[in-house]
Structure 1
């Protein structure tokens, strides 16, 4: 699509997001006016291309009255039922779909499951060839300085355990900004025995000290491959016995993410979205790291950043097949308020 068409779409979508703010001041109302003006300046693109003959549509006309209406009677969320419909999906539909439809109430309240997996199988099942190396590097940071010097290198270090507790998903409620944030169910789910496709969601990770609860500074996009926790007991090689794990090991849940390139100083001009690509090492392996699960700030959606669309792309393979993405900041009201 030509930049004029993209700008028109972006403007109307930004207007919709701004119109749903739960509170306003003169600055945010001016933002709405600017985006609506941009829409009207660029909408003729669709008429020129034959997509429409006109925009004489009552709903488009009503947009002209939004700012005055907000000034008179308050923010639009006073007459919005969207949040209650969303809660019905979270608390009823998702749990029902995850059950076997028999004795479903207990299943609907505890459908987030976990299981133990051998470390050797995780890399294969989760499409994470760098997991084992990243785990050794991560644990190397907890060795005493003398032990670190004796090691030939963290990648050659011995792991004193064979299994890990692994989860396939977790619920995340981001920090409240303006609206009540929607709870996200973030998945790192391998191919099931029933043939259900694997799903490894993309997330926004707090990577540097400069990272905050909004904006992208100090943050980085990663694809969550494994959700796990370190074991409470480990093998003592000298004694051949199981002993308690080191007291300084993290007890909180951890995640293994494969990285995308860091954010550029400014987003793409036409879309208003940041472009990222999978971060690949010179040996073809994806860059990845072990992170505390609490470093995941929020979920995020990636959309293809290429001009041409491959017919082989599907929802279950597009993150593996496409080489360039936009970070969609129009996914929800919350992402519009936080990803910029």
Structure 2
């Protein structure tokens, strides 16, 4: 019935697939155009197989894309039971694209990133394989102890903007899509040391695959990286067979990863496109109107809310087109009284975005850092007193060196000769805001992404929070080799002469090795200390900070205490992985293609 209804709905489009229509194209030329149906979004269980690979060996090379003609031929040759068991075909279902010339459902099916990859391959396969391996390798008591420690490690993960924390680990009763997406960002470090490195290497290329296909724009190099990640995943996942977790691996949801590159070439970057987009519409259409209702005879109230919201949206678009949404209400009223109605802005003739249907957000910086709007009260303004207050006796010397380097970059005079009284009073801030251009994130207008970096000694009155950041040390060098990781201890600013200096006091961390860790695929760092045992500190100008960094502790083989609090992690652990998975921008920022 579903396919029959869709075929009836699209029936009026058939003439456009057979008779050419003369259309003015964006380049100004007139061409004959034949229309076709675009990508089709469906949940994993409702999707038909895209290729003719055998069910017991789905990833064998040589499989071809299915076609309506071949399916019709098989239906005439075999009984329904054989069709389903050997070919995955239901003889009683006729796809709605069957009678459309320019529509092949086997090509039109878009990837279901949520159900096939996130909840399917990661949650139902990889996570379950790890748990099953622990139960089969260890005794029941020992396996449960290790699983509990994995939960403790997950709960010890540091806070990061936009990253969900799991205070009780991953042992929750019902997984949502957001649960799976958040857990996959911190899972590698939690299982490292408890499972073979080959099992960690299996999950690593899978996560790289997820982040690569999720990018907003994919180049040929990116697609090649997708193929390499998929090949490594197929090679490494055999560890599940070697350890006895699986007898064979022929799983439809994992096989769907093979079809991502052809779909991307046909229809462009999916950028997270999946059936969850259409499923989420019920939040606006049902859940939010229900919350606004009295819960008694709610249907009429919900329909009234939806009707009014539609009218408000229509009115807003009309006001915007007439320039009435610019400025304040009082300004618009005054201009109306004077006969000076605001006119909608007209695009320039040479505007590059005029023909592509985009709302140009205007010039924007690709990255910027700025301190919080208001300085924090209760901190000394004098540098020496502030140093005693924050218990950092090196602070005055570091400020002197910083100021000297700013004023005399090529001088041979030691920075210690700059008198402290030349430094004015200092303002202290508890946070700074980083703005970066991150089109792969589903974020604000124009692809700008905003995160808050904190250096707060009493975050929410519970614990100190001193976030870690990327500091650009060699701008021309891309990725981690051109940056350092530091922990923010203080944000402050002062004015000297005619210049205002927003700065940060940092605790430096050093890289261990010249390449990422082989099993984890992440750079390893450690806090840096002087020979005297004091922390290696430095003062930098705020614009040298690129954005916040997320660190995962190197847990090793030791078990965490059950009552371990995540706020202790940066102080107690001596080694950290630089997590490239907290968001899509960080993955692209560190590794590019």
* Superposition TM-score tier, normalisation by shorter sequence: 0.7 to 0.9
SS at match of 1:12: helix
* CA distance in 2 between partners of 1:51 and 1:120 (Å): 62
* CA distance in 1 between partners of 2:528 and 2:241 (Å): 41
TM-score by length of 1: 0.73
Task: Please say if residues 126 and 189 of structure 1, whose CA atoms lie closer than 8 Å, have aligned partners that are also in contact.
Answer: no
Q: CA deviation at 1:28?
A: 2.1
Larger relative contact order (C-alpha < 8 A, sep ≥ 6)?
1
Q: CA deviation at 1:209?
A: 5.1
Structure index of larger Rg: 2
Quote the residue 2:305 is aligned against: none
Task: Please say if residues 404 and 418 of structure 2, whose CA atoms lie closer than 8 Å, have aligned partners that are also in contact.
Answer: no
Task: Please say if residues 133 and 155 of structure 1, whose CA atoms lie closer than 8 Å, have aligned partners that are also in contact.
Answer: no
Equivalent of 2:450 in 183, 187, 190: 183
* CA distance in 2 between partners of 1:67 and 1:134 (Å): 52
Equivalent of 1:134 in 392, 398, 401: 398
The reply on whether 1:26 has 2:220 as its aligned counterpart is yes
Quote the residue 2:524 is aligned against: 275
Quote the residue 1:35 is aligned against: 229
Task: Please say if residues 528 and 536 of structure 2, whose CA atoms lie closer than 8 Å, have aligned partners that are also in contact.
Answer: yes
The reply on whether 1:114 has 2:365 as its aligned counterpart is no
Quote the residue 1:198 is aligned against: 464
Q: CA deviation at 1:200?
A: 0.9
Q: Could you say if the C-alpha distance between residues 190 and 113 of structure 1 is closer, same or farther in structure 2, counting changes exceeding 3 Å?
A: farther
Q: Tell me, which stretches of 5 or more residues in structure 1 are unaligned? A: 86-110, 233-244
SS at match of 2:486: strand
Alignment of 1:56-95 (within 5 A): 58-77=252-271, 79=273
Q: Could you say if the C-alpha distance between residues 115 and 53 of structure 1 is closer, same or farther in structure 2, counting changes exceeding 3 Å?
A: farther
TM-score by length of 2: 0.44
Q: Could you say if the C-alpha distance between residues 184 and 157 of structure 1 is closer, same or farther in structure 2, counting changes exceeding 3 Å?
A: same
Q: Could you say if the C-alpha distance between residues 265 and 141 of structure 1 is closer, same or farther in structure 2, counting changes exceeding 3 Å?
A: same
* CA distance in 1 between partners of 2:567 and 2:224 (Å): 41
* CA distance in 1 between partners of 2:436 and 2:550 (Å): 15
Quote the residue 1:106 is aligned against: none
Q: Could you say if the C-alpha distance between residues 187 and 73 of structure 1 is closer, same or farther in structure 2, counting changes exceeding 3 Å?
A: same
* CA distance in 2 between partners of 1:178 and 1:328 (Å): 17
Quote the residue 1:91 is aligned against: none
* CA distance in 1 between partners of 2:210 and 2:437 (Å): 22
Q: CA deviation at 1:47?
A: 5.3
Q: CA deviation at 1:7?
A: 1.0
The reply on whether 1:246 has 2:497 as its aligned counterpart is yes
* CA distance in 2 between partners of 1:34 and 1:141 (Å): 46
Q: CA deviation at 1:210?
A: 3.8
* CA distance in 1 between partners of 2:537 and 2:238 (Å): 45
* CA distance in 2 between partners of 1:315 and 1:78 (Å): 30
Q: CA deviation at 1:177?
A: 7.1
Q: CA deviation at 1:306?
A: 4.2
Equivalent of 2:588 in 313, 337, 340: 337
Which deviates further from its counterpart, 121-130 or 111-120? Answer: 121-130
Task: Please say if residues 125 and 190 of structure 1, whose CA atoms lie closer than 8 Å, have aligned partners that are also in contact.
Answer: no
* CA distance in 1 between partners of 2:388 and 2:461 (Å): 16
Q: Could you say if the C-alpha distance between residues 336 and 162 of structure 1 is closer, same or farther in structure 2, counting changes exceeding 3 Å?
A: same
Task: Please say if residues 437 and 449 of structure 2, whose CA atoms lie closer than 8 Å, have aligned partners that are also in contact.
Answer: no
Q: Tell me, which stretches of 5 or more residues in structure 2 are unaligned? A: 1-194, 281-371, 442-446
Task: Please say if residues 129 and 285 of structure 1, whose CA atoms lie closer than 8 Å, have aligned partners that are also in contact.
Answer: no
Which deviates further from its counterpart, 259-268 or 194-203? Answer: 259-268
Quote the residue 1:215 is aligned against: 479
Q: Could you say if the C-alpha distance between residues 303 and 181 of structure 1 is closer, same or farther in structure 2, counting changes exceeding 3 Å?
A: farther
- The alignment's C-alpha RMSD in Å is 3.4
Q: Could you say if the C-alpha distance between residues 144 and 162 of structure 1 is closer, same or farther in structure 2, counting changes exceeding 3 Å?
A: closer
Equivalent of 1:229 in 493, 499, 515: 493
Q: Could you say if the C-alpha distance between residues 327 and 21 of structure 1 is closer, same or farther in structure 2, counting changes exceeding 3 Å?
A: same
Q: CA deviation at 1:316?
A: 0.7
* CA distance in 2 between partners of 1:143 and 1:334 (Å): 35
Quote the residue 2:576 is aligned against: 325
- Per-residue CA distance 1:162-185 (angstroms, 9 max, x = gap): 852111112111245766353221
Alignment of 1:161-180 (within 5 A): 163-176=425-438, 180=447
SS at match of 1:223: strand
